[in-house]
Amino acid sequence: MTSNARPNLGGLFNGSTPPQQPSRIGDPASPRLVTSVPISETPLPPRGSASPGPTRPSAAKSGSAASGSATSGPARSVPPQSKSDPGGRQQAQPEVHWADPVGLVNQYFGLLRTLLDLNQQWAVACATAVAALPRRVGLHR
């Protein structure tokens, strides 16, 4: 440990510097982990029969989605089966992304943090200049 260029980790340990990444275990219900809204809320027009979509798990047909699929949990709704789709097949539906309110809030506070950092740097520069004034005018060596 002889290098001259050492990071100053004091801010990370005393809370004055935010981490580069948020906690992996914090805010487990954050929408960042759920990439699309439930499909049942965004019905799309059916495509032509020439290009059928991927097969949905048959567990959805029986109404017990949680027991049949490891990726489906209680928070997700299962799309209703249409009468024209008796085999339980669904058309391919692209993921639809809503505006993420948590992401927007994070962006907003990130902007605030940046502004505050700039403000701090400017204030520190001013304070440093003021502190150096006596030396400049020759009051101190």
- State the distance between the two ends of the chain, measured CA to CA, in whole angstroms: 35
Rounded distance between C-alpha atoms, residue 136 and residue 141, angstroms: 9
CB of 77 to another protein, least distance (A): 12
Question: Quick one: tokens of 131?
Answer: 């502190």
| Nearer to another protein among residue 18 and residue 52 (C-beta) | 18
By CB under 8 A, residue 19 contacts another protein? yes
**Maximum CA extent, the chain:** 92
| Nearer to another protein among residue 117 and residue 129 (C-beta) | 117
Q: Per CB under 8 A, which region of 25-33, 42-50, 84-92, 106-114 contacts another protein? A: 25-33
State which of positions 65-104 bind another protein (CB under 8 A). Answer: 70-76
Question: Quick one: tokens of 3?
Answer: 């290098």
